[in-house]
Chain A
Amino acid sequence: MPFASAAITFFLVFRQTRPTMGKESEPKATVRTRKFMTNRLLNRKQMVVDVLHPGRSTVPRSEIRSKLARMYKTTGDVVFPFGFKTAFGGGKSTGFALIYDTLDYAKKLEPKYRLERQALIEVKKTARKQRKERKNRMKKARGTAKAKLASATKKKVK
């Protein structure tokens, strides 16, 4: 009996002191930047980003974005990280990041797919299969019939 109670209390204490596997609190990720350059022509700062994350899988881009925003004292929406590759064995990843002066410049200069990642822009594309089928249909037509097909099924990009 006393043994059981001791065991229970021990278990309870142990449970309390067990480290919580939080998303960001316990596993560390250190972000370091290298080759920092201020690109006045494109109104941005560009750098190579090194992330050290031992014992953890590759850090998601959103986390890196928030960390970089804190480091360079800007908002997160003008920070665009990309190209992250993890070294063999894990623990370290290297990628690039661009920090724009304003969001306007970002919207003008960044490629569409990166803007889409950060939900700043929405590109509506028709399904890939539909596009290919349309192309094949157009191959069969000639002249004005072709132009008709082109305008009929074309969907605008927002």
Chain B
Amino acid sequence: MVMIDRPMMDDNISAIVASDLPRGVALLADLTTNIKNVTVGLLALKEKIENDELNSSKGLSLLELKNQSFLMYLSNLAYVTLRKLRGAKLENDPSIDRLVELRVVLERIRPLEDKLKYQIDKFLKIATEGVLSEDDPTRLKGNLDNIGSSSDEEEDEENTNSAKSATKEEDKTYKIPKVSQTPYEEQNSRETEKEKARRRTLNSSMVQEALYDFTNDPEVVYNMDALKQKAIKRRKELEAYEEDNMIRKSLTKRERAAMNEITTAGTMGSEILGFNSLDALYDGYEPKGPQAKKRKTGKSPKVKGKGKKGGKKRKH
């Protein structure tokens, strides 16, 4: 540690003090004006409460709880500030525990209040503006009976809208065609497609091995082959099933082959010895659309009877 000599330190402190002093004075002045305004408002509120104008006995108990906890929080906070101003220690003070508890209560109230927000706003609106007009959207309520049926024959009164009732008179209403769910196919922009292709080539084993000597990353040795994981998982599931039910499940030829194939040279070889094209790393690359996944030697039905050749092959 470099020791700053005392005179220089004093200069620093006085410089900081000089810059902060006017700001501090302004803040204190601000504080006094704000305190005056708040006291005026609070006195008015106190009078209202004493005259029983703000009776909350018929209100939501949650909001009442919120108000009370806020008040207690404020008083505890004032106490803490007072102690600090007097220079007393705050260690092991019970007011801190109370503050923490109140804070937690307030934080828990918040999501509950969010859930009630719609109802509260609605009632407030009714209280301030009287009864709502017929077209007010807040008056509409969802009709549970209408869920699931496409034909709107029965209408609930709460859903009435003058325009809507007019169209119901017609016989042939347009029924939305029922379409089965289809997966959303993301249409990525060309940039994201390029980015993806680029990332794919960069993470291929060929590139990784080529760059191995030049990166500073620590060498990671994985316990399990990424390619074998599926097979290992399948085997583990089978084992668990067999042991639970005390039964030996007979595997089909395909399943047995699938379990053994991961270790053979065929699957590993293409990954290790395959040659990925590095086109994606260059600027002028245009990514191709998603290709249909090719199935591995799917079962092709053997042609029974006469095939294309129609019987015996005849030599010419």
Residues of A within 8 A of B (CB): 34-35, 46, 48, 83, 85, 96, 98
A96 to B242, CA, bound (A): 10
Can you report 12 A-B residue pairs in the complex whose CB atoms are below 8 A from each other?
A: A34-B243, A35-B243, A35-B244, A46-B246, A48-B243, A48-B246, A83-B242, A83-B246, A83-B247, A83-B248, A85-B248, A98-B246
Excluding A83-B242, A83-B246, A83-B248, 5 further A-B contacts by CB distance (< 8 Å) are A34-B243, A46-B246, A48-B243, A83-B247, A85-B248
A79 to B138, CA, bound (A): 75
Mask: chain B, 231-263; 1 = CB below 8 Å from A; 0 = not: 000000000001110111000000000000000
A147 to B150, CA, bound (A): 61
Residues of B within 8 A of A (CB): 242-244, 246-248
A85 to B248, CA, bound (A): 9
Q: Which A residues are CB-close (under 8 A) to B244?
A: 35
* B244 shortest CB reach to chain A, Å: 8
Q: Which B residues are CB-close (under 8 A) to A98?
A: 246
Chain B, Cβ-Cβ closest to A82: B248
Chain B, Cβ-Cβ closest to A37: B246
Q: Which A residues are CB-close (under 8 A) to B247?
A: 83
Q: How many A-B residue pairs have CB under 8 A?
A: 13
* A59 shortest CB reach to chain B, Å: 17
Q: Which B residues are CB-close (under 8 A) to A96?
A: 246
* A109 shortest CB reach to chain B, Å: 13
* A89 shortest CB reach to chain B, Å: 13
* B228 shortest CB reach to chain A, Å: 13
Residue picked from A46, A48, A98, most chain B C-beta under 10 Å = A48
Residue picked from B244, B246, B247, most chain A C-beta under 10 Å = B246
* A126 shortest CB reach to chain B, Å: 26
A48 to B239, CA, bound (A): 11
A115 to B19, CA, bound (A): 99
A64 to B138, CA, bound (A): 78
* B236 shortest CB reach to chain A, Å: 13
Residue picked from A34, A35, A85, A96, most chain B C-beta under 10 Å = A96
Chain A, Cβ-Cβ closest to B239: A94
Q: Which B residues are CB-close (under 8 A) to A46?
A: 246
Q: Which A residues are CB-close (under 8 A) to B242?
A: 83
A97 to B86, CA, bound (A): 81
* B285 shortest CB reach to chain A, Å: 45
* B30 shortest CB reach to chain A, Å: 75
Chain A, Cβ-Cβ closest to B263: A88
* A40 shortest CB reach to chain B, Å: 16
Q: Which A residues are CB-close (under 8 A) to B243?
A: 34-35, 48
A34 to B243, CA, bound (A): 9
* B261 shortest CB reach to chain A, Å: 14
